[in-house]
Amino acid sequence: AQSVTQLDSQVPVFEEAPVELRCNYSSSVSVYLFWYVQYPNQGLQLLLKYLSGSTLVKGINGFEAEFNKSQTSFHLRKPSVHISDTAEYFCAVSDRPGTASKLTFGTGTRLQVTL
Amino acid sequence: KAGVTQTPRYLIKTRGQQVTLSCSPISGHRSVSWYQQTPGQGLQFLFEYFSETQRNKGNFPGRFSGRQFSNSRSEMNVSTLELGDSALYLCASSFDTGGHGYTFGSGTRLTVV
């Protein structure tokens, strides 16, 4: 079974500062990895995904993530955050490579950006 | 291009009642999955449907069921509602060629009183 650990439940950061949201996963097989963002009273929006190939993945809104197989990590980064990035961020892993079925989510990290 | 549409957005039900939630996927998407989101348990997978067949099921009691129609629209049903069923129910659709990632709807907020 897959599992995902998001080490930080909350990350406060000042606007224009860099941020890293940490994600570790456990799996006995190859996985697909995803980051989603959730704004208040909304569903989940896909930020980026790692399927194969380059370990550095670029997503929307200036976010990027790096897949590290040896450390089983998929940390999300942004060099300069904006107030509008305040939201809940979820790391997820697919337990069926090839079908991307059944996402297993981490518990989420609340990113709070302040002036 | 229309996104994933979930109806209704909000719902209040009484314990013991049953409820049906609806999800219309993105046009052309054949896979529909359902997730439950609660503050205590986070995001949990309920089930996935593809071409009217349930392909995968999460660890939920039999009170939770679903189905998918020939036009890929999906419904989930919860019978004999319990207070703990109060949650945001999210539907996600995918073209299902593997790894494209799911597009989520805005969810249905169910409150059981």
pLDDT of the residue at B100: 63
Preceding amide of A12 cis, omega within 30 = no
pLDDT of the residue at A31: 80
Residue B31 touches chain A, beta carbons under 8 Å: yes
pLDDT per residue as tens, chain A (115 positions): 789 999 999 999 999 999 999 999 997 777 889 999 999 888 999 999 998 888 999 999 999 999 999 999 999 999 999 999 999 999 998 866 555 478 899 999 999 999 9
Quick one: closest CA in A to B58, which residue? Answer: A102
The shortest C-alpha distance from A99 to chain B (Å) reads 4
Share of chain B above pLDDT 90, in %: 81
The answer to whether B4 and B101 have CB atoms below 8 angstroms apart is: no
pLDDT of the residue at A97: 54
The answer to whether A49 and A57 have CB atoms below 8 angstroms apart is: yes
CA-to-CA dists, residue A115 to A81, A112, B53, B113, angstroms: 11, 10, 50, 40
Quick one: closest CA in B to A94, which residue? Answer: B99
Q: Which residues does chain B have within 8 Å of residue A46's beta carbon, measured at their own beta carbons? A: 101-103
| Alpha carbon distance B76, A49 (integer Å) | 27
The answer to whether B101 and B33 have CB atoms below 8 angstroms apart is: no
Structural tokens at position A67:
């897949």
Please count the other Cβ atoms lying within 10 Å of the Cβ belonging to residue A98: 11
At B28-74, the pLDDT tens digits run 898 999 999 999 999 999 999 988 999 889 999 999 999 999 999 99
Q: Largest alpha-carbon pair distance within chain A?
A: 43
Residue A2 touches chain B, beta carbons under 8 Å: no
Average of per-residue pLDDT values in chain B? 93
Burial group, residue A56, by CB count within 10 angstroms (0-12, 13-18, 19+): exposed
At B62-111, the pLDDT tens digits run 999 999 999 999 999 999 999 999 999 999 998 865 556 788 999 999 99
Question: Which residue of B56, B90, B106 is in closest CB contact with A101?
Answer: B56
